[in-house]
């Protein structure tokens, strides 16, 4: 958390001088207070849409699989349901669940950033830097020199594209 926007701008300059690409730096401040030339958090980072979609896919897949199994055990009159239908119904349930849950989660602020909300409301600015784990200590030391009272929020574990 940085105390205000001028210190956030100074930190942005330092991070750029440390050869961190601007696409790996994000700031989160009160609505419409961040200047347009500073990188703002994206919609995916501000909301809980990713978590909601993941949860919806799991629940939708389970419900779809259960429905498909019930349909094979007790098919409607005149229907013959094959094994491939089980997978298709489960996949359809996962896709529908992910979509529906993601749409609902788009209206919810990111739960991982909830702890910073009171300080952001007071005018502080959250700094998010996406760097490889090998550079984390270097960046923390650089920030600590400028802001000795700076409290680090922690390291987010790397996110795999496909689990």
Q: In the predicted model, what is the mean pLDDT of the chain? A: 83
- Torsion, CA 116, CA 118, CA 124, CA 130, rounded to 10: 10
Q: How many CB atoms lie within 10 A of CB 78?
A: 5
Instruction: Of 55, 46, 35, give the one whose Cα is nearest residue 97.
Output: 55
162/41 Cα distance (integer angstroms): 23
pTM of model > 0.75: no
| Domain range annotation of the chain | 5-42+110-146, 49-105
The pLDDT of residue 97 is: 92
Q: How many CB atoms lie within 10 A of CB 101?
A: 22
Lowest-pLDDT choice from 39-43, 62-66, 135-139, 148-152: 148-152
């Amino acid at each position: 958390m940085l105390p205000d926007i001028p210190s956030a701008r100074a930190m942005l300059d330092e991070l750029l001088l440390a050869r961190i690409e601007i696409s790996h730096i994000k700031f989160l401040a009160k609505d419409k207070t961040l200047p347009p030339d500073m990188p703002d958090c994206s919609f995916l980072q501000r909301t809980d849409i990713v978590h909601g979609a993941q949860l919806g896919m799991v629940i939708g897949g389970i419900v779809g699989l259960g429905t498909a199994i019930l349909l094979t055990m007790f098919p409607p009159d005149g229907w013959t349901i094959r094994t491939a239908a089980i997978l298709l119904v489960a996949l359809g349930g996962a896709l529908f669940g992910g979509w529906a849950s993601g749409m609902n989660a788009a209206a919810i602020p990111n739960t991982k950033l909830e702890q910073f909300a009171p300080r952001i409301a007071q005018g502080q600015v959250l700094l998010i830097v996406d760097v490889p784990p090998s550079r984390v200590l270097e960046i923390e030391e650089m920030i600590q020199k400028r802001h000795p009272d700076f409290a680090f929020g922690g390291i987010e574990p790397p996110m795999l594209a496909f689990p």
